[in-house]
Amino acid sequence: MKIIQTNNAPAAVGPYSQAVEIDNLVFASGQIALNPATGEMAEGIEAQAHQALKNAQAVIEASGAKWENVIKTTVFITNIDDFGKVNEIYATYFKQPYPARSCVEVSKLPKGALIEVEVIATK
């Protein structure tokens, strides 16, 4: 098992690693829209979706896996009415054939985030 750590994504906001690699799989923790340079949360669902996806990509790339090799994602959003907006942005980060995905509405996310994105990739 290998722990992945990068300054190109926000530091963990709790007792977890940014990602854990085992065999040929990289399990990344959920990313919220904190700017890794400033620690500030992006504002609004669109900006948060971009930042959360960028953070997830930075973690995966820090592991040496390719973003194209993401196989499964989970998207947590605090308002399912944002589903369409999130899909539009999400689709710009992935090419077909898309990874498997679950998208769920949750009541609250850490630090008041509107979205959290979790990914699993192969190496």
Q: Which helix (H) or strand (E) holds 113?
A: none
Angle of helix 83-90 relative to helix 45-62, nearest 10 degrees? 40
> Residue count at the site for ligand DHA (CB under 6 A)?
8
Q: Find the catalytic residue in 20, 25, 41, 103.
A: 103
Task: Determine whether 103 is an active site residue.
Answer: yes
Vertex 23 angle, CA 17 and 26, to 5°: 40
- Provide the token pair at 99: 């990874």
The residues in 97-116 that bind ligand DHA, with binding defined as CB under 6 A, are 110, 116
| DSSP character at residue 95 | -
Mark residues 14-53: x for contact with ligand DHA by CB under 6 A, - for none: x-x------------xx-x---------------------
State the nearest-atom distance from the C-beta of 59 to ligand DHA, in Å. 11
Interacting span for ligand DHA (CB under 6 A) from 12-20, 59-67, 86-94, 98-106: 12-20
**Which residues are CB-neighbours of 72 under 8 A, at least 6 positions away?**
99, 100, 101, 119, 120
Binding site for ligand DHA (CB under 6 A): 13-14, 16, 29-30, 32, 110, 116
> So which residues are the catalytic ones?
103
